[in-house]
Amino acid sequence: MSRDKERSLRGPVRLALIAVLIMATAWLQACGANGSSNSNSKDKNAGASTGTETTTAAADTESKVPSVLNYGYIGSNDKNLPGGAEGWGFYKGIIQEELKKYGIEEVKLTGFPNGPDQTESLISGRLDFGGLGDTPAIIAHGSGAKTRLINQTNITNVGYLISGPDGPKTVEELKGKTIAIQKGSYMHRYVVGLLKQAGVKDYKLVHMLAPDGQAALARGDVDAMTNSGFNAEKQLAQGYTLIDDSSKHPELHGTSVTVVSESYLEKFPDFPKAWNEARLKAIEDLKQHEEEYYQFIADLNKTTVELAKKISPISYITEEPFPADGITRITGTKDFLVEEGLAKKDYKIEDWEVK
């Protein structure tokens, strides 16, 4: 082949070889990229899917459960704590630690002088839930309050009927007399039931909180009053007369309950379970520290350990959310309140419960 001809072919051949090399390189890169992409995309998609689902679930829980929980209780003391297992659980930090598992970072506690005042705050939305006597809780729910019953904390609340040192000494002697009551409380239910059992119909009830009732009784403005627990024992120690107390009439015992607003349940449907489990841990702990617990109760009420053991024995604390005896008693209270017109409508306690 002539040198000129060879020279004329060299250019096209070289170009063809270069083109083949470029195409081969591009094909190899494409295969490598596709293989890598397919393999990695499966791994990444699987990982992304799992991570997203987990993150979404956690986000949903956190978004539904407010970080602050508002709890109301009956009473007032320097420690701003309730008594019972709930107070002990807050005092020791047991309940707070349990609720943190659900995203609740703070529990705000508010004391109230009586149940009706507390239910007003629950209805208005200032509280999420609260512990109180069964009577005001029943009356509120029967009047349309959107609450649910999540437990009974005590089924042996004792009401006292007290007169002055020289006042009436029997229930029958209250005929024609004026009695100070805390309207809508379990003591209200107790004294009305007691007078009915005794056949006393001619009497007058006036609503007064315990401090006002005590002052009125001391002045002679009323003939008797209802009271409870440590306040009643202090009066008796000062020489006042015990006309009666509900320990003689178990059917007139009050029970303590915990109710939660339906609006809060919408945010945290599992709250009853979470709360009852946290409360049970507090009960288990206080049973291991009985003397310390009674000292705690004595300090709250500015009294002695001996009186704390008498008024608030650990045996009164219920562990089951709805003990059978408790349901029987609260049903009796509800029936009485409906019969007396204090509860506006009848309903089944079981329909009110959250289980």
* 329-347 per-position pLDDT tens digit: 999 999 989 988 889 999 9
pLDDT tops 60 at residue 182: yes
* 219-264 per-position pLDDT tens digit: 999 999 999 999 999 999 999 999 999 999 988 989 999 999 999 9
Average pLDDT over residues 13-31: 39
pTM of the model: 0.79
pLDDT tops 70 at residue 307: yes
Specify the 3-state DSSP secondary structure of 206.
strand
pLDDT tops 60 at residue 23: no
- Where does the pLDDT of residue 114 fall: very low under 50, low under 70, confident under 90, or very high at 90 and above? confident
pLDDT tops 60 at residue 96: yes
End-to-end Cα, the chain, rounded Å: 102
Q: Per-domain residue ranges for the chain? A: 64-157+253-346, 159-251
Beta-carbon neighbour count of residue 26 at 10 Å?
10
Identify which has the larger pLDDT, 18 or 348.
Answer: 348
Looking at residue 158, the DSSP 8-state letter turns out to be P
Specify the 3-state DSSP secondary structure of 245.
strand
pLDDT at 26: 40
Average pLDDT over residues 275-293: 98
Average pLDDT over residues 273-298: 98
CATH topology of domain 159-251: D-Maltodextrin-Binding Protein; domain 2 (3.40.190)
What Å distances lie between residue 165 and 224, 239, 242, 316, CA to CA? Answer: 11, 6, 9, 30
pLDDT at 331: 95
pLDDT tops 60 at residue 274: yes
Could you tell me if 136 and 185 are in contact, meaning their C-beta atoms sit under 8 angstroms apart? yes
Beta-carbon neighbour count of residue 77 at 10 Å?
14
* Average model confidence (pLDDT) across the chain: 85
* 152-161 per-position pLDDT tens digit: 999 999 999 9
pLDDT at 49: 34
> Tokens standing for 352?
């009110």
Percent of the chain having pLDDT more than 90?
74
Whether the domain at 64-157+253-346 and the domain at 159-251 fall into the same CATH topology: yes
* 43-86 per-position pLDDT tens digit: 333 333 333 343 344 345 455 899 999 999 999 888 999 999 99
> Tokens standing for 197?
């059992």
> Tokens standing for 314?
């650990």
Average pLDDT over residues 313-334: 95
Helix 134-142 and helix 115-124, axial crossing angle in degrees, nearest 10: 40
Average pLDDT over residues 103-131: 95
From the number of C-beta atoms within 10 Å of its C-beta (0-12, 13-18, 19+), residue 234 rates as middle
DSSP E strand boundaries for 182-277:
204-207, 224-228, 241-245, 254-261
What Å distances lie between residue 280 and 226, 265, 289, 291, CA to CA? Answer: 32, 20, 15, 19
Place of tokens 């890598």: 36
CATH topology of domain 64-157+253-346: D-Maltodextrin-Binding Protein; domain 2 (3.40.190)
Average pLDDT over residues 254-282: 97
Could you tell me if 230 and 307 are in contact, meaning their C-beta atoms sit under 8 angstroms apart? yes
From the number of C-beta atoms within 10 Å of its C-beta (0-12, 13-18, 19+), residue 64 rates as middle
pLDDT at 341: 87
Could you tell me if 265 and 271 are in contact, meaning their C-beta atoms sit under 8 angstroms apart? yes
Gap between the Cα atoms of 60 and 62, Å rounded: 6
